[in-house]
């Protein structure tokens, strides 16, 4: 796996909208944050375009992302937000220049499709906050972690243990992201090889029976049997519906991973939550889950 170069003050980064369009001006606060880090911020030509719910037509979003991949002056790519639409342009993108001169791509949610696609190409990326939600109340620590990760390249996360955790340790490459998107990628060339990997899963606004169905799909596809470890992030606003499965998210995960021996860390601060700790996908990471704490270090 190739890891993009660390950022330095004076580097130029680009904001674009490969999925949905920005719903507010919150992203402008994100620009101020990036500039306070000493970065030069460029707005892609169609970054604020609207095409129904998308951040521009497929052609406009494709053009912006291709520009970001190819321009040697750009050192990092920041989707403004997620939503839906990234996978609509993936097969038309040309990654030849990007593979030769990799740069950081940072995002989560719908950007999961892009992060896993580039992991398949052998390039590391960052699952973490985007400019639209840089300044969420309660997200200061995650934002500072992102700055440290981009400029210094170190991961050291330590949280309290959850009572549902499965104890153990693992060292491997971290991949994954939004559960709905991972299931969406099954059968496509954007789905990474999960064998021996540590898988991160998170989601938002899904009924619990939808969660059960998607995790069951990962199990039936053989993905859950092949892992070195599992990190379960935030499952925000995921509730029982009229069709009840009688289990919460943790119980669903434990049922469908029953019989496996790898460590599982629940309630990890990642996903559609204010404390969305940034994590490098495609880089070797150490996961330790013991009775008192969970550690994730490089």
202 catalytically annotated: yes
- To the nearest 10°, the Cα dihedral for 201, 204, 208, 214? -40
Give CA–CA dist 92/275, Å, rounded: 33
Residue 213: phi and psi, rounded to 5, are -65, -40
Cβ-contact 282, 118 below 8 angstroms: yes
Choosing from 202, 206, 210, 270, which is the catalytic residue?
A: 202
Cβ-contact 269, 277 below 8 angstroms: yes
Residue count of the chain: 298
109 catalytically annotated: yes
35 catalytically annotated: no
Give CA–CA dist 16/41, Å, rounded: 11
Choosing from 17, 109, 180, 190, which is the catalytic residue?
A: 109
Choosing from 46, 117, 132, 272, which is the catalytic residue?
A: 272
Judging by DSSP bridges, how do beta strands 293-297 and 156-160 pair with one another? antiparallel
Structure letter (DSSP) for residue 58: H
Give CA–CA dist 24/29, Å, rounded: 11
8's tokens: 């330095």
Catalytic residues: 109, 202, 272
């Amino acid at each position: 796996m190739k890891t993009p170069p660390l950022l330095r003050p004076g580097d130029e980064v680009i904001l674009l909208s490969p999925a949905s369009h920005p719903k507010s001006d919150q992203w402008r606060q994100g620009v101020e944050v990036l500039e306070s880090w000493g970065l030069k911020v460029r707005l892609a030509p169609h970054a604020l375009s609207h095409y129904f719910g998308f951040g521009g037509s497929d052609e406009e979003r494709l053009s912006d992302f291709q520009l970001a991949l190819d321009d040697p002056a750009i050192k990092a790519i920041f989707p403004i937000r997620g939503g839906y639409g990234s996978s609509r342009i993936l097969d038309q993108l040309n990654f030849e220049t990007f593979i030769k001169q990799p740069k950081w791509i940072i995002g989560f949610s719908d950007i999961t499709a892009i992060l896993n696609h580039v992991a398949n190409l052998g390039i590391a990326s960052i699952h973490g906050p985007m400019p639209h939600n840089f300044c969420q109340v309660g997200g200061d620590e995650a934002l500072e972690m992102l700055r440290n990760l981009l400029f210094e390249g170190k991961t050291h996360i330590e949280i309290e243990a959850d009572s549902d955790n499965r104890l153990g340790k693992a060292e491997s490459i971290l991949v994954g992201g939004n559960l709905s998107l991972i299931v969406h990628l099954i059968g496509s060339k954007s789905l990474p090889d999960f064998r021996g990997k540590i898988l991160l899963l998170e989601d938002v606004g899904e009924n619990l029976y939808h969660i059960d169905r998607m995790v069951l799909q990962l199990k039936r596809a053989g993905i859950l049997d092949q892992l070195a470890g599992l990190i379960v992030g935030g499952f925000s606003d995921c509730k029982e519906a009229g069709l009840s499965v009688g289990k919460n998210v943790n119980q669903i995960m434990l049922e469908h991973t029953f019989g496996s021996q790898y460590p599982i860390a629940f309630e990890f601060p990642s996903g559609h939550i204010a404390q969305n700790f940034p994590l490098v996908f495609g880089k070797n990471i150490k996961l330790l889950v013991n009775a008192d704490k969970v550690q994730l270090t490089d």
